[in-house]
Structure 1
Amino acid sequence: MNSLRDSRAFLIDLDGVLYSDNRPVPGAAEAIAHLREKGYPFRFATNTTMRCRASLRRKLTGFGFEVSEDEIFSAPVAAARYLRQQGQPRVFLLLKEDAHRDFTGLEITDQQPDFVVVGDMGDEYNAALLNKAFRLILDGAEFVALQKNRYWKTAEGLTLDAGPFVVALEYATGQQARVIGKPSPDFFQLAVDDLGVPPAQVTMIGDDIEVDVGGAQRAGLKGILVRTGKFRETDLQSGIEPDGVIDSIADLVEYV
């Protein structure tokens, strides 16, 4: 598979690629160790917004992966970098408390913020919080979404992600959110900058045909689809043509 053999660096999704249903994908840890042994730079590029990267590292370590915090490039990390580029903004976070840690150094407030940042809060969403974000956006705060994924896979089955709540706020406020997580070009550019490798030489490996593969391709990267996680055979008729399809990330060792 030339798209893999020609790659100099990788972005690798977490949920659905390295682990699924809270269990590591067989052979995934060995595939990551193989990339490390071969000297390929990589980042774990995830739209997970409920955990800070320190917590994500602990989770991955518990699954048997060798990971440093710097190798985790999440939507909250990307958003925090984007916000710091805007000067010294005041920020309201509609996120789980754990994810707030990735925004260290920014002023977090619910009083006249410059930005409202919305991510996945799981079961912690409620009408009061959504109304707070709604009113702050109406009052002039810029609307930033960490991602707009429709759903994700949990042990209970497919579960609503942040996207439906972001779209609800867009509809109510009449304001389009700036999406910082995948599939936003902002996310991929920030991640590629972190790798220090030209986009055309970076390959994204994910289980989401729209968010991972389509987003990467629109940003000038290659996109490989795995048949694990949320993958469905109907994804192959989506109109997005991946640069390759593999059964799981364990197959990576055959190509690089």
Structure 2
Amino acid sequence: MDVPISRGQIARQFLSAAKGVLLDWDGCVAIENRVLCSAKKLIEQHAGRIAIVSNNSTHVSADLAAVLARHGLDVPEHRILLAGVEAIRHVSARGARRVMMIGSPKVRQFARMQGIVLVRENADLVVLARDARFTYAKLERAANALQRGADLVVANVDRTHPGIGNRLVPETGSLLEALLACVDGVRDKMRVIGKPAPLLFELACERLSVTPGEAVMIGDNPETDGEGARRAGIHAILVGGASPLRLEHLIEPSV
């Protein structure tokens, strides 16, 4: 009788055949920017084919490249695609004159480096990213800007991401829900940059010089990693949560 091939073996076969390996960050590669041992081994095995595709909107690509480098892993900044960074690049390309930015100091500084003028009032456009210092005053200013007709660009719609010990870390989507509760008609007009939207997947394939059909996406969130990859024509491998697979199942056994 033939021995059935395990799901881990099947997943490793997909990885072995792929020309590009896209990895989620929070909850997959790292927990609160602490790289998991299994992720380190996986990246080492597929080093030249790796791109990070993350809804992270707190950090810039150089931050995560530095985290990986401390573990002896070399993933170039141009292959680290982050929702917050790409939201800023999108806004910069639009040429918006007056931008209200809700986000971390790092992402706000990145916006200024892109030539974006940040304002507190009379904004043409509101950018929403994860902001651990979110306040009622910021909510009030952003809501009134939208009420007066400003456009809204959102880094991602994730409500939480996993922290150490399975603690919930509030994400950009939880701030978005507060904003949408204040102003009607915004949801249908806002632009979302992060997964499951296609932009990060497209950029990752471009940076790796592969087609979507030649790539594999590894992540822990079926709504963003799984659904986003499916829409982009990329095979998804889900780990953790309800999936029977864990990251360690994807590591090729030592010879």
Match of 2:86 among 65, 73, 78: 78
Distance 1:171 1:148 in 2: 14
The offset of 1:249, in angstroms, is: 5.3
Taking a change above 3 Å as real, the CA distance of residues 33 and 181 of structure 1, as seen in their structure-2 partners, is same
Match of 1:217 among 230, 240, 245: 230
The offset of 1:96, in angstroms, is: 0.7
Aligned positions, number = 236
Where in structure 2 are there 5+ consecutive unaligned residues?
1-9
Please say which of residues 171-180 and 125-134 is displaced more in the overlay: 171-180
Q: Which has the larger radius of gyration?
A: 2
Contact 1:53 1:102 in 2 (8 A): no
Q: Deviation per CA, 1:172-214: give whole Å up to 9, x if none.
A: 2220131101111233223333333222222111111111111
The offset of 1:63, in angstroms, is: 4.0
Taking a change above 3 Å as real, the CA distance of residues 115 and 3 of structure 1, as seen in their structure-2 partners, is farther
Equivalent residues in 2 for 1:21-100, closer than 5 Å: 23-36=34-47, 39-40=48-49, 42-87=50-95, 89-100=97-108
SS at match of 2:46: helix
- The residue aligned with 2:207 is 194
Distance 2:32 2:106 in 1: 21
SS at match of 1:152: strand
Normalised to the residue count of structure 2, the TM-score between the two structures is: 0.82
Distance 2:75 2:200 in 1: 21
The offset of 1:12, in angstroms, is: 0.7
The offset of 1:246, in angstroms, is: 3.3
Contact 2:24 2:52 in 1 (8 A): yes
Match of 1:173 among 164, 175, 183: 183
Q: Deviation per CA, 1:133-166: give whole Å up to 9, x if none.
A: 1111222221011011121122361232111211
- Name the Cα RMSD after superposition: 2.3
Pair 1:11-2:10 in alignment: no
Distance 2:41 2:164 in 1: 24
Taking a change above 3 Å as real, the CA distance of residues 186 and 23 of structure 1, as seen in their structure-2 partners, is closer
Q: Deviation per CA, 1:64-112: give whole Å up to 9, x if none.
A: 4333222211012221332233245432210010122433223232243
Pair 1:112-2:111 in alignment: no
1:93 aligned partner, one-letter code:
M
Distance 2:202 2:116 in 1: 25
Q: Deviation per CA, 1:202-234: give whole Å up to 9, x if none.
A: 21111111111111111221111112xxx2x2x
Taking a change above 3 Å as real, the CA distance of residues 253 and 115 of structure 1, as seen in their structure-2 partners, is farther
Normalised to the residue count of structure 1, the TM-score between the two structures is: 0.82
Distance 1:142 1:194 in 2: 29
Contact 2:79 2:204 in 1 (8 A): no
- The residue aligned with 2:4 is none
- The residue aligned with 2:135 is 126
Contact 1:78 1:190 in 2 (8 A): no
The offset of 1:22, in angstroms, is: 5.1
Where in structure 1 are there 5+ consecutive unaligned residues?
237-244
SS at match of 2:114: coil
Contact 1:11 1:204 in 2 (8 A): yes
1:134 aligned partner, one-letter code:
A
1:8 aligned partner, one-letter code:
K
- The residue aligned with 1:164 is 174
